[in-house]
Amino acid sequence: MADLATTFAGIRSSNPFWLASAPPTDKAYNVVRAFEAGWGGVVWKTLGEDPPIVNTCSRYGAVRYKGSPFAGFNNIELITDRPLDVNLAEIRQVKRDRPDRALVVSLMVPCVEQSWKQILTQVEDTGCDGVELNFGCPHGMSERNMGSAVGQVPEYVEMVTNWCKQHSRLPVIVKLTPNITNILAPAEAAKRGGADAVSLINTLQSITGVDLDLMAPEPVVDGKGTHGGYCGPAVKPVALHMVADIARGLPGLPISGIGGIGTWRDAAEFIALGAGTVQVCSAAMHYGFRIVSDMIDGLSNWMDVKGYRGIEDFRGRATANYVHWSDLNLNWKTIARIDPGLCIRCGLCYIACEDTSHQAIAALREDGRRRYEVIDAECVGCNLCLHVCPVDGCITMEPQPMSGPKITWNEHPNNPLRQVAAE
């Protein structure tokens, strides 16, 4: 059996599946239930200074898509609204009772060194395994010059990270905001500040919908709404991209992947792109804590089939194949193939190609029945037909002999920069 145990930034856990800092980790009751269900670690919901935060009602919105109520999930909830001393006491007790599980505490206080020093001293006294600096919250706290208001300014990221490394012996994980043009800038700042790791992504600024009766953004609070933080399956592509950028640009910096993870396959993809652990929130809120059993079993079984004995055997293996567009082989060609035995003759491939692509699928009649066939000379291998086809395996992409040697845009004679260099 594959060994799922991992050590991340010096923090050991029995498996890479952690609960992200969010409502599911707001109190001891939830965290204990999570550990009983099998989660390898949790990041306790973000603590701040007293007096406690005041939250709104309601707090959540969602994007529904083809029967899924949680294609995208939005929240306007702030950090914990429970007293700091209550949270600290519960963290201390939970860690004492479950020393075998990773327990990291998320923190957010104003950009004042003394504030960070004070809360770090209190948190370190609980015996927790590390701290995560919340530089990502895009609503509510950012209006108070915290959260993403810090994460969007690399100088602030470096400064606060440095304070935390000076005033605590705990591993420091910096949670990054995706609401930025280049994720490498704050990641590099965190590294300069001495961060032991980064975690990403935090939520994206969003409005999930508008109540057309009340004429207000959702979720509605007394007739009005605001932007919130977007998460769930819909943000996974953004998260994978940003994790991969850091893995490629800052090799050796530990990464905890967050964003739309709900299955073992999601987790494997993040790990293949360099993540050492993965953090889950929306999927747990949708299905409950016991989804981790399926994730553990699925990842373990897949690793057994592939011959991977541990997480490190495949962590980052896809990073080397994540290249810039200009490094792709322009002589590589594929052509679509339609399996007539699997085709249900719905015509979706034909419609998509005829109306919006390259007119490379012919609509034919055979014994009075519709039949669809790829026109090889017109097919550019764009894959659109494969993605609109409702039958798995009916349409495949078949590699063709290359018309010449491998050539990238960096090497291509049409590249004006190459021409300038030659002159």
Rounded (10°) angle between helices 113-124 and 154-167: 40
Which listed residue (57, 111, 128, 137) is catalytic?
A: 137
Cβ-count burial of 169 within 10 angstroms (0-12 exposed, 13-18 middle, 19+ buried)?
A: exposed
Residue-wise pLDDT for 49-88, tens only, equals 987 788 889 899 999 888 888 899 999 998 999 999 999 9
> For residue 335, is pLDDT > 70?
yes
Angstrom distance (rounded) from CA 98 to CA 358: 59
Residue-wise pLDDT for 222-274, tens only, equals 999 999 999 999 999 999 999 999 999 999 999 999 999 999 999 999 999 99
Rounded (10°) angle between helices 236-249 and 184-192: 50
> For residue 139, is pLDDT > 90?
no
> For residue 422, is pLDDT > 70?
no
| pLDDT computed for residue 144 by the predictor | 80
Identify the three-state secondary structure at position 17.
strand
Residue 137 falls in the annotated catalytic set: yes
When mean pLDDT is compared across 90-94, 145-149, 208-212, 286-290, the lowest value belongs to 145-149
Phi first, then psi: what are they for 259, rounded to 5°?
130, 95
Identify the three-state secondary structure at position 383.
coil
| pLDDT computed for residue 141 by the predictor | 86
Cβ-count burial of 40 within 10 angstroms (0-12 exposed, 13-18 middle, 19+ buried)?
A: buried
Structural domains of the chain, ranges and CATH numbers in brackets: 6-321 (3.20.20.70), 325-399 (3.30.70.20)
> pTM of the full predicted structure?
0.95
Phi first, then psi: what are they for 358, rounded to 5°?
-120, 15
Report, as an integer, the average pLDDT of 353-380: 96
Q: What's the longest Cα–Cα distance across the chain? A: 82
